[in-house]
Structure 1
């Protein structure tokens, strides 16, 4: 016989089931399960854990709070929650980068500017004992030997598998955000030294990052006619200033412009490249084309085709990188 208590319990279950799938579901769920013991029981229900929405943005200020092997993120990941596994993969990459920096202590001043700025922002200090112990303990939980020895090995996750899932499912935005940490994570896994195949994998990751940047830039250029015109205005102003007094053959002019365009936004550099190449293809003087509205409109229409090509290139590079990762780590 169904009682009022049963109905309330079933209603509460459905309310929580819907709540955890909403925007900010993970944070809301983490908040309510601390309210009372009855709510805490739902944190063990796999049907709920599998659908909790982890659409969260990690930042340096909150990154370390995810390094909790008994926390909601790990529980949901082990229940098969794909969005939780995606976030956990990012945490694994940040944590392994921390350990790599701690072990090898590379001179940061010798690193590429992008690497140095990202590492200084996210992992500024690897000399804090308590923090090092926490990161090491967190990563040990996901090491293959500890997972295979666990009586819960059927649900436990290996750190390299989580990185593999990130490679498989990450968007181009994810690869731009995590490129530096993905690279150092791979170096951490290599441990015993870098082979020719390892260098090939690192190079493939860099190419994937470049492809991701290209896709993102072309998306912005192809978004609306107004956005394209804004970017093209920047390219026109750059050319009018930088190339006004240049009297050279096109090839030398092209490379001179590319070298001098480093201060431009990525989107402007992409558009500048497409502009100069189209001038050659059509056989139009690059100075005259600046004010040719038909030429500029045709260039804008080209962006859609370029974007399709960029998506294809990104997909091919992802598959290549994933294949190399599997060859190395399984």
Structure 2
């Protein structure tokens, strides 16, 4: 069996650095949980805020598949990381909070409003609830409420979720989010609540637009732009243009990434499009109909690409403004 002898002789700062390195890897959450389970020496860092803030949950995201209630453990790693200020953990914990709130909200809605919580559970048809699930959800949420009456920590978690999560996360949690607000309803905030709900609906509707075309519009556009430049480059070689004139077609290729900015692709399209047009003029002067046909196709695709870029840039601006309004209206719902 492998031994930790030698490592355990390191000073505390050295051990902490090891734990931070372990925690910050893509599989950090899983590795850290295993490390805590097998080593009492490293278990001393279970409350260390530096380590907890470093934990990566990247490896877990593809496997969550909506099962956020699995993280509704008040003493679990996610909850500890969230309270230490780990932003990804706060997003996951907020999802667990909303799923738990949704269970209670649906149970209470399906029962009579004038009954005690326990009596409401007992009147529900079996298909509407699992008493153990409801009890667990209730205890989980109560843990984050001061004397079980002040849900401020829960409200702050969901506020962070709205600021930090992706739009896709917001769409996924839409109904749970509405149930959360219904469960922790604040009287006298009708106007603010209406603004929040209308904005949420618009955000969810608008978000479907680019995803219908491609699941990753940035990568899609980067790939199409690069294909266009390479086709144009070969076309310029065929008409015998000086390489200095068409070298920018390759120099302006964009990195294919989810992080590429639409504005970057649009600016580079502004650089290469005149080169395509120049190549068409040369091909026409030479009577090179084969290259001229390719050139017309390139210009047509460039125009379509420009139109799509303008559309998604407008869409991005809308999404950004909608998210800002969603966060501000949520804060207004829960302001004093």
The TM tier, using the shorter chain, reads: 0.5 to 0.7
Q: From the superposition, tell whether residues 158 and 104 of structure 1 become closer, same or farther in structure 2 (CA, over 3 Å).
A: same
Q: What is the aligned partner in structure 2 of residue 286 from structure 1? A: none
Q: Which residue of structure 1 lines up, in the alignment, with residue 43 of structure 2? A: 40
| Contact 1:99/1:135 (<8 A) preserved | yes
Gap change, CA 1:293 and 1:47, over 3 Å in 2: closer
Aligned to 1:91: 96
**Which deviates more from structure 2 when the two are superposed, residues 212-221 or residues 9-18?**
212-221
Q: How does 1:252-263 map to 2 (within 5 A)?
A: none
Per-residue displacement from partner, 1:52-71 (whole Å, max 9, x unpaired)? 11233463684332110011
TM-score, structure 2 as length reference: 0.63
Q: 1:12 aligns with which of 12, 15, 22?
A: 15
RMSD, aligned α-carbons: 3.4
Deviation by residue 1:263-304 (Cα, 9 ceiling, x = unmatched): xxxxxxxxxxxxxxxxxxxxxxxxxxxx98754541222112
Any residues of structure 2 matched to 1:264-275 within 5 Å, and which?
none
Does residue 331 of structure 2 align to residue 326 of structure 1? yes
Change (3 A) 1:199 1:171: same
Distance 2:83 2:103 in 1: 23
**Number of residue equivalences:** 243
Instruction: Within 5 Å, give how 1:72-221 maps onto structure 2.
Output: 72-105=77-110, 126-146=128-148, 158-190=153-185, 195-217=190-212, 218-219=217-218
Question: Which of the two has higher C-alpha Rg?
Answer: 2
SS at match of 2:57: coil
TM-score by length of 1: 0.64
Q: Sort the Cα spacing of 1:314 and 1:220 in 2 relative to 1 into closer, same or farther, 3 A.
A: same
1:20 and 1:29 in contact (8 A); partners too? yes
CA distance in 1, matches of 2:218, 2:44: 44
Structure 1 residue 11 displacement after superposition: 4.0
Q: Provide the C-alpha distance between the structure 2 equivalents of 1:39 and 1:4, rounded to a whole number of angstroms.
A: 10
